[in-house]
């Protein structure tokens, strides 16, 4: 890739990632949400991977990191669902808003997102979905680039 | 003036997670020094100002989550982004 691209892409990728985070954070009041924001963050990672390559990319996403974040995302979603199930009897009940008054006030205030809209657990769900999508899409591209490197190594060995 | 903590905390957390992954390869010719992060932060504040706050948020005249994420990336890089780089290509293919 050209030198201009190599200078430009890293800061631009970070700006794209910040925009993705903003899309996740505004998921409960503006268009967007966890999936869309996570895809935008992954786009930032992929931008770097395409321009710098797998070896020289400034973002190093190891297998352990990808597995850990994916697990945190999935378990966080299940945890938020189980909180609703335990306190109200309904999986993914919005305990932060508590429209039907099933939940004690302390639990309600603990799970209510601190912003002017009082969206309850919806922003937290967006957050965990964003984490999952971010690493999921990045992992696909990293795997494809890794397979490409493997093929190159195999050809070199055969020659 | 009320500062809404939600987007600040979650934005910082997400940015921090991403910032910890920035690890420069000492063998590489690419060097991203402090000036890159300074330019990035200034650009982030300008972009956040033009994006404006979310609907119903009247605390500050800029996208606070955006700035918190930019700060998180820089802090994550400063705190955890200094160790030796991981071999991403190996972990992607072998496991």
Give the CA radius of gyration of chain A.
20
Span of A46-50, B43-47, B53-57 with lowest mean pLDDT: B53-57
Taken in order B85, B86, B90, B92, is the CA torsion positive or negative?
A: negative
A153: buried, middle or exposed (CB in 10 Å: 19+, 13-18, 0-12)?
exposed
Whether residue A113 lies within 8 A of chain B, CB to CB, comes out as: yes
For residues B30 and A55, give the distance between their C-alpha atoms in angstroms, rounded to a whole number.
12
pLDDT recorded at residue A76: 94
**pTM, full prediction:** 0.89
Residue B94 scores a pLDDT above 60: no
pLDDT recorded at residue A141: 92
Domain locations in chain A as residue ranges: 3-158
Cβ contact (<8 Å) for B43 and A29? no
Q: How confident is the model at residue B91 (pLDDT cuts 50, 70, 90)?
A: low
pLDDT recorded at residue A72: 94
Q: Nearest by CB to B70, from A18, A63, A145: name it.
A: A18
- Kindly list the residues from chain B whose CB atom is less than 8 angstroms away from the CB atom of residue A64: 91
Whether residue B42 lies within 8 A of chain A, CB to CB, comes out as: no
- Kindly list the residues from chain B whose CB atom is less than 8 angstroms away from the CB atom of residue A65: 21
> What ipTM describes this predicted complex?
0.89
Cβ contact (<8 Å) for A15 and B88? no
- Kindly list the residues from chain A whose CB atom is less than 8 angstroms away from the CB atom of residue B89: 54-55, 145-146, 149
């Amino acid at each position: 890739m050209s030198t201009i691209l190599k200078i430009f892409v890293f800061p631009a990728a970070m700006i794209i990632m910040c925009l993705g985070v903003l899309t996740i954070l505004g998921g409960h009041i503006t268009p967007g949400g966890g999936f869309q924001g996570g895809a935008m963050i992954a786009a930032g990672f992929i931008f770097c991977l395409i321009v710098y390559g797998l070896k020289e990319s400034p973002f190093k996403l190891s297998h352990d990191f990808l597995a850990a974040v994916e697990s945190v995302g999935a378990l966080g979603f299940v945890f938020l669902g189980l909180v609703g199930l335990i306190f109200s009897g309904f999986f993914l009940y919005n305990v932060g808003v508590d429209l039907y008054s099933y939940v004690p006030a302390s639990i309600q205030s603990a799970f209510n997102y601190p912003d002017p809209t009082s969206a309850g657990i919806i922003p937290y769900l967006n957050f965990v979905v964003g984490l999952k999508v971010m690493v999921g899409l990045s992992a696909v591209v990293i795997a494809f680039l890794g397979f490409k490197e493997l093929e190159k190594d195999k050809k070199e060995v055969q020659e | 003036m009320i500062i809404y903590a939600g987007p600040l905390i979650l934005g910082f957390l997400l940015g921090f997670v991403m910032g910890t992954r920035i690890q420069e390869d000492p063998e590489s010719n690419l060097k991203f020094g402090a000036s890159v992060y300074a330019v990035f932060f200034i650009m982030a504040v300008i972009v956040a100002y033009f994006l404006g706050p979310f609907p119903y948020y009247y605390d500050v005249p800029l996208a606070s989550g955006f700035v918190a994420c930019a700060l998180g990336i820089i802090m994550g890089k400063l705190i955890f982004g200094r160790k030796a780089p991981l071999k991403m290509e190996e972990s992607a293919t072998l496991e």
